[in-house]
Structure 1
Amino acid sequence: MATTVVKLKQVELGSGRPKIAVPITGENQVEVLAQATAIVQAKPDIVEWRLDYFQNILNVDDYRETAIKLIERLNDIPLLTTFRTEKEGGEMTLGITDYVSIYQQVISNHLTDALDLELFLPKTVVSELVAAAQDADIAVIMSSHDFQKTPVKEEIISRLEKMDQLGADVAKIAVMPQSGSDVATLLAATAAAHEKLKTPIISMAMGKLGKVSRISGEVFGSVLTFGTVGSASAPGQIELPALRREIAQLALDKM
C-alpha cells in the first residue's frame, strides 16, 4: 500500500530515504540554544526538542521565549516537540493536567511543526490533542515505547494500527530487544504494518542489539530514524555522520 507523505516544511516523511532526527536535551535556554547551534551545523533533516529535559518547562514565558529563539535558530529545519512521560522513558515526572497544558501552549502558539503524542495516554487527552494539533496544521507523531521488552509481532502491528485509527499522521514504536530474534520481530512487524497502512511508520529496536533497525528503515518501511550530535535521548542512537553513511549504503536505489 502506498504510504501517505507527511510534509514538515520541506522534509517529506514517507518519500525517499529515511530522514534523520537529532534530539535537543538541554536543561535550560542556554543549553538548548547551544545544542541547536551545533546541530544546525550538522544539517539533520529534523530536530526533536525533548521538553522533559527542560527544567523550567512549567514556566510558560521561559518556554515560549526559548521556543521562539530555537525556531529562529533552526531556520528551515522542522521541529518535532516531545514531552516523553516517565513511564515511557522520560526524564521528568509530570501530571496529566500539566502535560496537556504544555501541549496546548505549543499548539495555540504554533511553536512546532510536529508533536509527539503517546498512544497510551487517556483516550480523551489523545483525541483532543490530535484534533487541536491538526487544526493548527501541526503533524501528530503518535508513539509507544517499551524499554523493558519487545512485544510479539501481532501486538506491535496492533499498536501501529490503533495509532492510525486515532488519527495519527505518523505512527511510531520503539522497543527494547533482548535477543536478535526480538530485533527480527520488530523488523518483520514494521514490514507487515508498512504493507497494510498508508500512515508513515517510524520503528526502532533500542540499545546495541537494535542498531541495525536504525539504519535499515528503507528496507522494512520506517521513514525516520534518530541520530545524535552530542547527547543521546535513547540507548543505541548513532552519531549523525555515521548514521547518514550507513543509510546511504543501504539505499535501495543503489542495489
Structure 2
Amino acid sequence: MSLTGASEEDMLRQASEAAKRDSVQMAELRADKLAFVTDAERVARLGHAVRTRLQGKPLLLTFRSKAEGGDKTLDAHTYSALYRQWLDAGFADLIDIEMQAGEAVVRPLIACAHQRNTRVILSYHDFATTPSLADILSRLQQQDAQGADILKIALMPHSPADVTRLLDASWQMRQQTDKPMLIMAMGDTGKITRMSGELFGSNLTFASLGEASAPGQIASDELAQFLEALRQ
C-alpha cells in the first residue's frame, strides 16, 4: 500500500495503520506527495520515523513524477541527487526509479542503491494507453538488462484486449527472467490484473488503505481475501 499523506502526521498515521493490517506486506512512502520533498534531510527523518512505525514491514521509497501519475516534476539532476541523499540516509529497503529518467540517470542510481544493499524497482507507467505486445516486452527486457531487482509496468487499458495483451506480455517475460515482476493494468477495466496477475507471472501488486495512489486500486483487506480464495 502507498502512504500518500501530505504531511508528516498523515504519513505516520498511515504507517501505523499499515503495521496493524495483516493484508499489508509492504508500504510505499510517496515522497512526491510531500510539499517539502526537496528537503532531503526532512524526508529522511520522516522515512526513519515511518520505518519505525511499520514494525518490520519493508519500506519502498518512491518519487513519482507528474508525467507518470505523480504530483511533482523534478529535473534529472535534482531527481538523482535526492535519491542519493535518501539512499545515504539508509531508511528504505527498496526504491522505485522511473526508467524514463534515462539510462544516464538509471544505471548510476541502481549501482548506488546496490552498494547500500537497497533493492530497486525499475518502473514504467502509461496513463493514456496500452502499447503493443512487442513494446511492453521490450520495456521489461530493458529493465532487466539495466540491473533492476524488480520489473514494473503499469498501463491504461481501453478494452479487454488491452488487458489480455498485457497479461500475455507478463507470461512471456516470466519465461525470460526469474526476477520478481509487478505488472498491472489500471482503472476499472484493469482491476482483474491486480487480482489475478500472479497466474500470469506477476509477483506483486498495489492495494489501497484509504486514498488510492493509482486508478483501479482495491482495498487491501478485500484484495487479500480474493487472493487467498484464488490460491485455495
1:24 aligns with 3
List per-residue Cα deviations over 1:26-76 (Å, max 9, x = no partner): 111111101111222223111011111011111233212111111111121
Amino acid at match of 1:183: V
Measure the CA separation in 2 of the matches of 1:48 and 1:214. 17
Tell whether the 8 Å contact from 1:42 to 1:229 is kept in structure 2 after alignment.
no
Q: Is the 8 A contact 2:31 2:43 kept in 1?
A: no
Q: Distance in 2 between matches of 1:235 and 1:113?
A: 25
| 2:46 equivalent in structure 1 | 66
1:223 aligns with 2:166: no
- Equivalence map 1:188-203=2 (5 Å): 188-203=168-183
1:86 maps to 2:66? yes
Name whichever structure is richer in helix by fraction: 2
Q: Which runs of 4+ in 1 moved over 6 A?
A: none
For 2:8 and 2:170, the matched residues in 1 are separated by 37
CA offsets 1:216-238 (integer angstroms, 9 cap, x no match) = 12210111010011111000000
Distance 1:117 1:243 in 2: 26
Aligned residue for 2:151?
Answer: 171
Structure showing the higher strand proportion among its residues: 1
Partner Cα distance (2:87, 2:44) in 1:
11
Q: 1:42 and 2:55 equivalent?
A: no
Are 2:87 and 1:131 equivalent residues in the alignment?
Answer: no
Letter in 2 for 1:29: E
Contact 1:23 1:50 in 2 (8 A): yes
Q: 2:98 aligns with which of 118, 127, 149?
A: 118
In the other structure, the counterpart of 1:184 is 164
Retained in 2: the 8 A contact 1:194–1:221?
A: yes
* Equivalent pair of 2:40/2:86 in contact (CA under 8 Å): no
- What SS does the corresponding residue of 1:231 show, helix, strand or coil? coil
CA distance in 1, matches of 2:41, 2:124: 30
Matched, 1:243 2:223: yes
Contact 1:37–1:73 (Cα < 8 Å) also in 2: yes
What is the count of residue pairs matched by the alignment?
231
**What residue in structure 2 maps to residue 75 of structure 1?**
55
Displacement after TM superposition at 1:139 (Å): 0.3
Normalising by structure 1, we get a TM-score of 0.88
Counterpart of 1:149?
129
Identity of aligned residues (%): 37
CA RMSD of aligned residues (A): 1.0
Give, as a single letter, the amino acid of the residue that structure 2 aligns with 1:118. E
Is the 1:171–1:199 contact (alpha carbons within 8 Å) kept by the matching residues of 2?
A: yes
Please give the alpha-carbon distance, in whole angstroms, between the structure 2 residues aligned to 1:68 and 1:193: 35
Amino acid at match of 2:216: G
Q: Give the distance between the partners of 2:8 and 2:57, measured in 1 at CA.
A: 19
Looking at both structures, which has the greater relative contact order when contacts are Cα pairs under 8 Å and sequence separation is at least 6? 1
User: For 1:52, which of 32, 39, 45 is the aligned residue?
Assistant: 32
What is the Cα deviation at residue 151 of structure 1?
Answer: 0.7
For structure 1, which segment, 229-238 or 191-200, has the greater mean C-alpha deviation from structure 2 after superposition? 191-200
Asked if structure 1 preserves the Cα contact closer than 8 Å seen for 2:160 and 2:189, the reply is yes
Partner of 1:103: 83
Q: TM-score scaled by structure 2?
A: 0.97
